[in-house]
Structures are given as C-alpha cells and as structure tokens.
Structure 1
Amino acid sequence: MTTPGAPLSRYAGLLGAALLAVAGYLGGALPDAPLNVTPASIWRAPGGPATLACWLVGTALLVGAWWSLRAGAPSGRWAYVTAGLWALPLLVAPPLGSRDVYSYACQGWTYAHGVDPYAVPVAAAGCPWVETVAPIWRDAPTPYGPVFVLLAALTVVLGGGLTGTVVLLRVLAVAGVLLTAYCLPQLARAVGVPTRRAAWLALAAPLVGVHLVAGAHNDALMLGLLLCGLLVAVRRPGRPTALLLAGVLLGLAVTVKASAVVVVPFAVLAGASGRTVFRSGAWLAGGLVGALLGSSALTGLGFGWVGGLTRSGDSEQWTSPPTAVGFVVDYAGALLGRDPQAVPVTRVLALALLAVVLVALWWRTWRTWRRADAGSGGLPAASGGSSAGSAGLSAGAARCRAALHGAGLALVATVVLSPVFYPWYATWPLALLALTAARTTWFALPVAVAAFLVLPDGTNLARFTKAPGALAMTVLLLFLLLWRTGVRARRSSTSVPPL
C-alpha cells in the first residue's frame, strides 16, 4: 500500500526522537539534576534554552509524524521498522520525562537488602540513591506488586550500581514493549484489523518511546504481560489449559501494576467459546489467583502492596479529571469564604463511579458478545477492517473484538477516573483501542497532547497551570457530558415512531 508522505513522516519522527535524546543529555532526568525546578529556572540554567528548544521541536516532530499516519502506515513491516528507528535514539538517552526509574531502583535495593518495601519507605530503608528519587515518593511505600519488586531487586543485584540498575530496568521496559509488538499482529488478525494500523498507533506513539523506552516505566512490562495473556486466551478459546495460562499471565501483569485487574472480566469473554463464559471464567480466575498467591508467597511480601496503592494519589494535579473538579469546587468555596476540601471527596466519588462504569461496560460488552455469537453483528468497523458480524468475519472474531474493545474502554475509564494522571497512563488502553476502535481521533488526540505535558527532567507543566488547567478540564468535562447527552437524546427521538 502506498501512503503519500510516509517517508517524510518516518524521517521527521526520527529527527524528533534524536532531538529528544539530545534534550535528555542536556537536561534530562539525570541522577544529579536539581529537583523541584520551574520552567523559568530551567531556561536560566546553562544549556537551558537549548534543552527546551530540543524538547519542544523534537516532541512536535515526533507527534506530528505519528499523527499524520494515524489511519495506518503503508504496511505492518513499515510500521515496525519505523517504530524501531524512532526508539533507537531514545534507547541510549538518559531517563526522560520522569524520575520514577530511580524510585524503582531504590525499591529494588530495599527488598534486596531484606527490608519490606511495603512497610518501609526508601528514605527510611537507607537506599544510597535516595537523593535521586523525587521528594514526594521518598517517604511513600511501594505501590507496585511483588513480581515487579522482585525484578527490581534482581536489577540491583546484577547492575552493581545505580547506572547498571537503571540500564537493566530499561531492558525490562523494552522487553515489555517487544512483548507487546509480538502480540499485536496476532491479535490484529484475530479481530480483522490491519496490522499496519494497530502497530503504528500502539508502537510508534510518542508516549511509548519517551516514557516506556527512555523513561523505563514499568507500565511497559504490565502491557506486554496483559496483551500476552489476552492473546493466549484468544488463540485457544474455551481450552482449560490456555485459560489457566492466560490467567497466570494476567495475574503477573497485576503483580507488576494493579491497574491491569480491570481487564480480567473482559479477558473471560475473550477466552470463552460459545456459551462457556462461567466455566472459562473459573479456569482463568484459577490461574490469576494462583499467580497472585504464588508471587506473594515466593517473595515473602504477602499482599502489603495493596496498602501502598493508597499513597499513589499523594500528587494533586488538574490532569486527573476528578482532582480538577475538586480544585474548582475549592476555588468556588474560597470565593464564598469557605474551604470545602473537595478533592478527597471528588476522588472517592470518581472511584465509586468507576466501579459502576466497569460493571456497565462489562454488561454491554457481554450483550455485544452474545449478539456476535448469534451472528447478528457487533461493533462498527475499524478503519481498514471488517465489521463484527459482517461478511468475512467469523462469530469468534466478532466476539474477540467485542471483548478487547470492552477491555480498552475499561482502561480508558480507569485512566479518566483515577485520582492521579501521568502521561504514560495514556498508553494503557492504546494497544487495545488501536486494535478495535472504529475511529482513532478521540483517543489519539489525548495521547498527542499528553506528550507535551512534561519536560525532559520530569518537571510536570501541570504543576504551574493549576487554576487555569482545572477550570479548562472541568469545562471540557461539562461540554462532553452535554454533547453525549444530546447525542443520546437525538438517537432516542429518531428511534421512536411518530404518533
């Protein structure tokens, strides 16, 4: 397939990635970089203007090149080669966009030295690299599961120092990206979507190179295990051994990062055959529980990591919609001479709403799954793909697509309603939506915008735009709510015959 402008997009993106790598060396999240800086102080620092210029131009080139081919690359091979080219400069760059990799290193050091990272924060444990960790996380317990803590400890033991540990943590992240790349073509075939579109959207996205590869976030490993578990379930639907293995892989994903758990109910539908939903669910749940209990017992850490999740919302930024609404309520209260302290309330309400949304999404997905099983159609066609239930797409493929689409929407809901949002969170639903969504703009646009939210050293621009950002986010939420209500009202009015 010939795509006009594809060569230009490839090399523009490569130049952008190279400029971002340069920005990393000039002012990235280096171990000795100053903390709690502002954009103004970065500008005044030696090499500051060059750092910001490389970051801004590089991000714009990378985002623009990815956006220009969001309908699909010329071929699947072309997408893989281009994504690999873009990743090369970022693979050898210093940590970009976040200091989380140093938190991972200290958490691994803590466990490797016989201290429970769920009970003792890295500062109290005596990690020799604690000064590289962002201050907000120095006194917080580890929020990650036992499998990731074990892997982080292994990188500490094998790395022999901070640099070696960071390199090995990046190797883990790249392994997660490669596992995602391995699963995508097979999942794309299973749902009738061209690999050239799914691979391009999921692998060439700027957040993947900057935050999963250069930033070495453990989200990459979670995603790789998640897609691998879904692939095993999809390839052998209804088979007990396959479902058991799928459950184990999903359980491992959860024990890296707990947010993966929202996909599990949809994985049951992806791995079910005909009307074997409950039996398939039992086998998959067995593998999942086995992975959770086994990893907790193997590491000797138990389930202390669940308590660490409560501290993940210590950071308050308007990029989280519930937090933004809480800010606006507090601002309105201040005008009336009151202090509502609304942020904790809006966050709890959002989590309650998330539970309701996840149940509703599963119910809707199950109904679509049943219609596909009966051959009466399902989801609208993805670009370049077939419609569920249309000619050439089997009932099994339609069921699979419905389940994966529901899983992607569940991850979207989790990202939107969580107490905190960081740009790399937008990568969670990216691969599943690239495989199943009929339209791409609604999820590709937020990914493009999120790429501009953090500077190379991890400085989050949301910190310096608190009031206007909160107001803008709240207005956007109200607009989307009113627009969606209007769409549903129009559909209802057209579906009712006139008297």
Structure 2
Amino acid sequence: MVGRGLVGSMLVLLGGWVLASLPVGMDLPASLDALRASPASEPVALAVVLFGLVLLVLAWVELLHASHVVGDLALVVRAAVAWIAPLVVAPPLFSLDGWAYAAQGALAAAGLSPYEHGPSALGGPLAASVDPRWQDTPAPYGPLPLMYGALLAHVTADPLLLALGHRLAAVAGLLLVAWALPRLGRLTGAFPAPAAAVTLASPLMLAVGVAGLHNDLLMIGLATAGLAVGVERHWVAGAALVGLAAGVKAPAVLVGLGVALLTLPPGAAVLARLRRLVGVGLVVVATLVGLGLLSGLGMGWIPALRVPGTGLTHASPLRLVPTSVRPVVQVLPLVAAAVAAFRTPAGDPVRGLRALAVVLLAGGLLFSALRLWYLLWPVPLLAVVPLPTWGRRLFVALLALLGLLAPFTAVPGGTVLGCVGIPVLAVAGAAVLLGCGRLRRRLLVSRAVVAGPVAARAGRPL
C-alpha cells in the first residue's frame, strides 16, 4: 500500500518535470531538455502523471480502509510522508501560482511593494514564468507569504529554489493540520487515523495542495490550529492564529466564526455571541494590522482582493446563474455565516465545525474564479465531523476524482483535455469499481470511514 503510493508519487514527479512550465533558460540536464522539446513529450508525460495519480488513489483507498479497521495512526503518517516526499522536489505542478509567489517575494526583497507592482516590474525569467493574466496585477495575498518570500529571495535568486521554498511553507501548513486534527477529533469523537488519512494523504491534497504548492495549505494549517488552540487555551490565542491565517489569504477570516462558536459556553445568549464575535474580529484585525506594520507593506492587499475573482472560470457554478442575480448569490456565504453565528448551538463542537465547513465550502464554490484548491478549505473539518453514509461516500469519491482532474487544469489545451478526460476518467473509474469487488467494498464501505462520533463508541445511536 505505502509502496504503491510511493511509486505513484514518483511517477507524478517524473512526468511533472516534463509537463511543468519552467523559467526560460533554466539549467536542466541535456536529456530532460531534449525530452521536453519533443512534440510527443506532453501527452506521454500527462499519461505518466495520470497513471501515478491512479496508483495514489488506489493506495489511498486501501489506506482509508486500513486506518478504519486497524486504527494505526503511525501507518497513516508513514504513508503521508512517503507520498509527499517526492513531490517536495517537483517544480510547481498543475498551476503557475508557485512562480507568482516567488516573483512577488522577489519584488518585496527588491524594495518594490507587490501591492503596487505586478511581477512584470521584476523582469527576467522568473517574472516571465508567471501566468500572463497576473503579470501586471497586485498580489491578492496577505503580508505573511510576502515576508516569507522576501526572506527566501534574500537567500537565493534561483527561481526553482524560490518556488520550492514556498512548497515548504505549504508542507508546514499540512504539519499544522496534522497537529490540530487529533485535538479537533477529541472534541467530536472522530477516530484519529481515518481523519488523518482523509486529510493528509488524499489525492486532492497531494496533487493540488502539495504538488501545486498553493498558499491555501498554509492558510488552512494556521486556521485549523487556531480552532484547536482557541478551545484548548484561550479564544484570544485562537483568534490571533486565525488572524495569521488571514494574513496569508483573506477567506480565513471566516474561521473566526468557528473560534467563537467553539469557545462560547453552551446556551450562550445573543448578546454573549455578539460580544465574542466582535472580540474575535478585533483580534483578527489587530493581527492583520500588526503584520502590515511589521512587513512595511501596510494593508495594500485589501484592494487587491478583487484580482483573483476577475472573470468566471469554466467550472464556476455562477455560470449557471443569470448575471442579474449573481451578486445576490455571491453574498450567500456571508448570509450563511451570519445564520450560523446566531443559530448554531454554542459549545457544540460537532455542529459548530459542521456549520463552519458549510460556510467555507459555500465560500469556495460561489467565488467567481473557482479553483480546485479552494475546495481544500473545509476538508480538515469534514474529516472530523460525523457525516451520513452517502455524505462519507461522496466526500471520499470527490477527493479521489478531483485529485485525478488536477493535471487538466494547467496543461495547454486543458479545457479540451478536460472535456475528454473527465468522461474518460468517470467511465474508467466506474469500470474499475464494478470490476473490482475488493476495491468497491473499501471505497463504499458502509462503516464509518471518516469519523466515528463519541456516541457511536459508547454504543449509543447517532
């Protein structure tokens, strides 16, 4: 199981070096240069990457089953480490965002505010590697990743090392999630091994979070840690960590709702809820202001938040909504947050985390520029709350399928490849499930794969 996933991860690494977009003039081995120049290299590399992801999916399904039956958290950790390790040295895969992070950090190191200048102001191969859409746009990220990127740029000017440095930040976020999961699991009664297998080793997390090295992973790690610290220590400490998470990406402010709900006493009245929400909000804002002052970059990223939402992506559900009502639909996550703030029972971890997961999922889905990595936001929360049987099955299946679709989001002609690849993967997946009883039993297992509530352990009905 662990070995099969490791082989899959190695194949993603090998195919990724051919498939990935690299800076012009990057010093590569002659054999790799020749391979990348071959007209046939791209489809072959894509096939290698897809085969590797399929092996990862198969290994992950086995890991989920083993984590439930045996409950061996150490096995899950070993598998996650083995599968992540090859991806750490891969170039940015399935997205060009890693080059944008590197360029924005280099801008800050050069004394140019990434909130006032786009990567094109930097010039050179690194800036040229950034997606053309973002060449002249300000950075829509908080000061924290820019401070980190500037520190990296003072150490090295090598584009690849800069990008790999940001992958280490993503892995650090995953480590924070790994630290927080057992603590949140104790609140909801979730078994630690299945929750860790779902969160740390899923194909979506590996392909999009680690291989794609998105800032979202660091944001999720800090926010999840904030929830755990808020409950175990004090809500102020938890809110400060949520503020740091928002200093990576703005959507993390929604997690402040979770800190408030989890730290209020049961039966808290409306006024007590309001005071706690305001208190959490003030701590988050104070943390963001402090980061702006510490970095010297101020709050210039606030106006830049409009940048990622410029235009609708092909996958955005908003395409199905008439233009006249889209603004109304887009505020639904905020409406859901307001309803959750005053209607979710206080001091109930299961309901609080479930409500927060719904808010984060709505926020990711209804953002105009829907990206696969936005769907990572609620994953740690959904991994530790009890779900109905159909919900568990859907959750697991989506984590596998969306991980398989990651390569189609960045390769040239990705839209065409996606139109062909999605049906092919769906048919192939159905054929494998129908033809492999053992795999079918593991993926569609009727027992609790994701979370086991305290009530179930005590023999009480859910």
TM-score when normalising by structure 1: 0.74
Q: Distance in 2 between matches of 1:217 and 1:47?
A: 26
Q: Which residue of 2 aligns with 1:412?
A: 361
Tell me if 1:55 matches 2:49: yes
Distance 1:66 1:424 in 2: 19
Task: Report the Cα distance in structure 2 between the residues aligned to 1:407 and 1:352, rounded to whole angstroms.
Answer: 16
Secondary structure of the residue aligned to 2:384 is: helix
**Equivalent position amino acid for 1:402 in 2:** R
The 2-side partners of 1:44 and 1:351 are apart by: 44
1: CA distance, partners of 2:417 / 2:10: 28
Pair 1:285-2:237 in alignment? no
Match for 2:80 among 83, 102, 111? 83
Counterpart of 2:147 in structure 1 is 150
Task: Spell out, residue by residue over 1:371-410, the C-alpha distance to the aligned partner (whole angstroms, 9 max, x if none).
Answer: xxxxxxxxxxxxxxxxxxxxxxxxx6xx122212211111
Deviation at 1:457, TM superposition (A): 8.8
Cα deviation, residue 87, structure 1: 0.7
- Is the Cα contact below 8 Å between 1:229 and 1:246 reproduced in 2? yes
In the other structure, the counterpart of 2:432 is none
| 3-state SS of paired residue (1:103) | helix
Tell me the amino acid that sits aligned with residue 20 of structure 2.
G
Matches within 5 A, 1:35-54: 45-54=39-48
Write the letter of the residue equivalent to 1:233. Answer: G
Match of residue 450 from structure 1: 402
Partner letter of residue 46 of structure 2?
L
> Residues of 2 paired with 1:456 and 1:467: CA distance?
9
Measured in 1, the distance between the counterparts of 2:412 and 2:378 equals 22
User: CA separation in 2, counterparts of 1:72 and 1:286?
Assistant: 44
1:95 CA displacement: 1.8
Which of residues 434, 445, 452 is equivalent to 2:383? Answer: 434
Aligned-pair distance for 1:86?
Answer: 0.8
Work out whether residues 203 and 404 of structure 2, in 8 Å CA contact, stay in contact via their aligned partners in 1.
no
SS, match of residue 383 in structure 2: helix
Equivalent residue for 1:359? Answer: 338
What is residue 315 of structure 2 aligned with on the other side?
A: 319
1:260 Cα shift? 0.9
Change (3 A) 1:458 1:284: same
How many residue pairs align between the two structures? Answer: 403
Query: CA 1:44/1:348 → structure 2, altered by over 3 Å: closer, same or farther?
Result: farther
What's the offset of the Cα at 1:462? 5.8
* 1:130 aligned partner: 127
Quickly say closer, same or farther: Cα 1:466–1:458, change in 2 above 3 A: closer
CA shift for structure 1 position 256: 0.2
Partner SS for 2:353: helix
State the match for 1:120 in structure 2.
Answer: 117
1:252 alignment partner, one of 229, 240, 244: 244
% identity of equivalent residues: 32
8 Å CA contact retained: 1:322, 1:346 = no
- 1:262 to partner: Cα distance: 1.5
1:421 matches 2:370: yes
CA shift for structure 1 position 145: 0.8
Contact 1:317 1:462 in 2 (8 A): no
Letter in 1 for 2:53: T
**Residue 268 (str. 1) matches residue 233 (str. 2):** no
Measure how far apart 1:448 and its partner are. Answer: 2.2
- Three-state SS of the structure 2 residue aligned to 1:453 is helix
Task: Please state how far the C-alpha of 1:183 moved relative to its aligned partner.
Answer: 1.2
Query: Is the contact between residue 62 and residue 206 of structure 1 (CA under 8 Å) also seen in structure 2?
Result: yes
Residues 408 and 415 of structure 2 are in contact (CA less than 8 Å); yes or no, is this contact kept in structure 1? no
Equivalences for residues 27-426 of structure 1 within 5 A: 27-32=19-24, 45-70=39-64, 73=67, 74=70, 75-126=72-123, 129-236=126-233, 242-274=234-266, 275=268, 277-323=273-319, 325=320, 342=323, 345=324, 347-364=326-343, 366-367=344-345, 369=346, 399-426=348-375
Amino acid paired to 1:83: A
| Deviation of the 1:79 alpha carbon | 1.1
Q: Which runs of 5+ in 1 are unaligned?
A: 1-7, 35-41, 237-241, 330-341, 370-395, 470-499
> CA 1:354–1:281 in structure 2 vs 1: closer, same or farther (change >3 Å)?
closer
Write the distance in 1 (CA, Å) between the matches of 2:111 and 2:54. 45
One-letter amino acid matched to 1:256: V
Instruction: Please give the alpha-carbon distance, in whole angstroms, between the structure 1 residues aligned to 2:412 and 2:301.
Output: 26
Query: CA separation in 2, counterparts of 1:170 and 1:219?
Result: 11
Within 2, Cα distance between the matches of 1:21 and 1:256? 27
